[in-house]
Structure 1
Amino acid sequence: MSTIVESPPPQFIKNIEWDMMDKSKFFPLSMLSSFTVRCALYPLSLIKTRLQIQKHNVVYTGMFDAYGKILRYEGFSGLYKGFWVSSVQIVSGVFYISTYEGVRHILAQRNVDSKVRALVAGGIASMVGQTIIVPFDVLSQHLMMMGIDGKGDKPSLNLLGIRDTGQGKFKITLELIRQIFKIDGFGGFYRGYVASLAAYVPNSALWWAFYHLYQDELYAILPVWVSHLLIQSIAGTLGGFTTTIITNPNITCVGITSPNPKHSRHLGWFHHDNNH
């Protein structure tokens, strides 16, 4: 009489490790995914930056007011000012994830707890990423501010007073680079670098740590039939929400610090003409 031996249930992979990935597919798909998300969220990032930089609501009274004025004075393309310069940052994602996974792999060999690995690796990866990103972020934020021309009742956030009408994007960007270098030198492209590290290194470290924390807790309390992808999506969302609450004041400081040149008071800093 034959005996039926039940095979153990298949093991699911909770965390995808570096050596499990096909790098030839991962990096291109990761960059494509990042570009797609950036396309969708960039208008919100632009509006958030303008709201953070302005003083005492002199230009916009809120998100919807900003959205309406940008469309009215600048058109739909105004929501994407500085987008292509900002998109160069996608390349930094390759260095970010490579650093993150590399550090996690090293710590895993030393049997460090997964949440601690995520915390440390996320912080170091962000430090590498910010070193690449900050110069492009400075340029992008200046371009975000250049939208409204300041004529009549149209307020202006053009910090460097660069004419952005009748010129191509490339020429405007070159003029912006020249003005920043003229005013602040090479250090002008890293204005706010320390503040960026202070904001985004903890942001990255905390997000990865909270992601693993929430993921473990959700696996423990939810039924086994719940989709693993759903659990990971919820964990990522909760991790992002928690991290944003903790780090948003620091990120606001970054927005204020980065685009502010030494002589901004002479160059149209939040100039607002009301010639009714």
Structure 2
Amino acid sequence: MNIKNQVQSKQTALITGAASGIGYELACIFAAENYNLVLVDRNQLKLAEIEIEFEEKFGIIIQTIIKDLSISTSPEEIFAEVQQAEITIDVLVNNAGFGTYGLFNETSLSSELEMLQVNLVCLTHLTKLFLKEMVKQGRGKILNVASAAAFQPGPLMAVYFATKAYVLSFSEAIANELQGTGVTVTVLCPGATVSAFHERTGTSDSKRVKREKMMDAQTVAQLGYRGLMQGKIIIIPGLINRLLAKSVKFFPRSLVTKFVRNMQEDK
């Protein structure tokens, strides 16, 4: 769908990984708040269903972009499609991401390289592309979805935890750089969330997932949206998650790493 006739009174949010989980719930919230949407995901069927649902329910304009973000050319292609359609992106939500589980010397290198591309490189690339226009306009918001995993090393999910630590550090740094520009950067760091993530990564049977009372994706999205609109830099949903994130700095890193390893192990 071309959006050259985009309603000027409405702002537009671009959301990656929008077909399910936190990304889908964020899309619901932005739609309910009368934002037009650019939804990015590789699940063409699901995006088509969302497009029909949202246009009927909310009366907004939706652009769907089918892209596999593990392919290095995807960010430039997304940006080009948005520019060709003459869409101004007011809010960028870098939500897409995935993880793998297992000992690093046994896990798939190809999967981990794809993870680095999606979780880290694509997020950085899209931020670079859309941020310049936001700064030029003197307004805009960016929401990067990291994880509570960002605050400590993660044995058995070493690369995933490291990518989220990057997202946290990167977001905090550019949030500082952008002070006074009218553009804000927020990083959302949820703990274990009810979604298909744990089935995909093979962590459904881990002690952490079994013991932890997981927050639902809708609640995480609501807290993320609220914090984004308030201009917060870091959002950690859930009191326990906030306490754990703050407490790790008071313990030796070796002890923290052992604790995480214990919680990551099966049964």
TM-score (norm 1): 0.26
Larger radius of gyration: 1
> TM-score, structure 2 length as denominator?
0.27
Bigger relative CO (Cα 8 Å, ≥ 6 apart): 1
Q: Which protein is richer in strand relative to its size?
A: 2
Give the number of the structure whose residues are more often helix, by fraction: 1
